[in-house]
């Protein structure tokens, strides 16, 4: 399978890098500075599962041609429009989106056609360091993908065959939209609480009412998923409760890290998207509403601070 990976950041760089490390036919669509960095230093991964420095192929936007079987789409939700424009010269082919949430699916369907859009989700703690190194934080490095109608197709099997040669924990899912719903149930609870309370799991659980808030956030999202026809499986809920109430849990949502660094956040695409569905179904929206207000207030202040100074008349 000829795979194009949009970007060589945390998620794309890690999973695409592991495929390339195993001999997969992988090309990274990058900007000029990242191309220079990779040409000089290789694609570098630091991970408890093994460090790597990999020589990989890169392509710039103006060089892109329709010569790939699939695209691993690994951008932030607020960059989706730019990402769709960037990959258009490579179409038609299968798109395997790794964005958080589910809001992006309808946009991809409209732009490229539903048959071209698979489902996918990643579970990994990974960041791109300023020096270009992809830093994988712990042992979790799972990727799930599949056809949204549950069929096993030649393209989904080809992707599975490619991952089978890597050290990645992968799954060709028979119900990828259920997997995506279960991820957003947990992720949105983590983003809601860690952004609202400005702390990691351990700090929140140690605070008065913190454990109860964590469980309330998870259950509220689970109820929304049930009413949407995707009830979370018991194993997922058990795991989610354990991670959200771990007294030693040092993790937080990437949205909190983005917020604390002054960056853009996926407020509309994760918390806001779930809040809309809570209100549609009459589900508990207390924590979602408070977190969304908090995040939108941050976005407004960030925008105001970045406005250019007024010019004289």
Q: Catalytic site residues?
A: 183
**From CA 284, how far away is CA 212, in angstroms rounded?**
14
Q: Are 296 and 282 in contact (CB under 8 A)?
A: no
DSSP helix/strand/coil, 184? helix
**From CA 54, how far away is CA 302, in angstroms rounded?**
37
**From CA 230, how far away is CA 87, in angstroms rounded?**
31
HSE (CB half, 13 Å, CA atoms) of 161?
11
**From CA 260, how far away is CA 199, in angstroms rounded?**
10
**From CA 275, how far away is CA 291, in angstroms rounded?**
10
**From CA 305, how far away is CA 146, in angstroms rounded?**
42
| Helix axis angle, 210-227 to 273-281, nearest 10° | 70
Structure tokens at 305: 């601070």
């Amino acid at each position: 399978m000829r795979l194009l990976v949009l970007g060589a950041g945390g998620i794309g760089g890690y999973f695409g890098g592991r495929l390339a490390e195993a001999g997969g036919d992988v090309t990274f669509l990058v900007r000029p500075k990242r191309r220079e960095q990779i040409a000089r230093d290789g694609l570098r991964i630091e991970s408890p599962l093994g460090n790597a420095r990999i020589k990989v192929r890169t392509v710039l936007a103006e060089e892109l041609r329709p010569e790939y079987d699939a695209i691993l789409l690994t951008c932030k939700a607020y960059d989706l429009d730019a990402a769709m424009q960037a990959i258009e010269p490579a179409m038609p082919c299968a798109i395997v989106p790794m964005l958080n949430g589910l809001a992006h699916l309808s946009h991809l369907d409209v732009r490229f056609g539903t048959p071209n859009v698979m489902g996918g989700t990643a579970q990994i703690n990974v960041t791109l360091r300023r020096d270009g190194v992809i830093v994988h934080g712990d042992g979790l490095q799972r990727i799930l993908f599949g056809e949204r109608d549950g069929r096993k197709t030649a393209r989904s099997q080809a992707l599975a065959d490619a991952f089978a040669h890597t050290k990645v924990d992968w799954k060709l899912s028979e119900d990828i939209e259920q997997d995506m719903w279960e991820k957003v149930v947990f992720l949105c609870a983590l983003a809601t609480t860690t952004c609202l309370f400005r702390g990691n799991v351990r700090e929140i659980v140690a605070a008065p009412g913190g454990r109860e808030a964590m469980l309330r956030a998870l259950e509220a999202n689970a109820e929304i998923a049930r009413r949407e026809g995707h009830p979370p499986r018991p194993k997922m809920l058990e795991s989610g409760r354990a991670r959200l109430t771990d007294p030693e849990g040092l993790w937080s949502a990437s949205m909190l890290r983005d917020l604390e660094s002054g960056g853009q956040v996926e407020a509309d695409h994760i918390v806001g998207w779930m809040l809309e569905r809570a209100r549609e179904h009459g589900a508990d929206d207390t924590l979602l509403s408070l977190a969304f207000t908090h995040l939108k207030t941050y976005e407004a202040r960030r925008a105001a601070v970045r406005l250019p100074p007024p010019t004289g008349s």
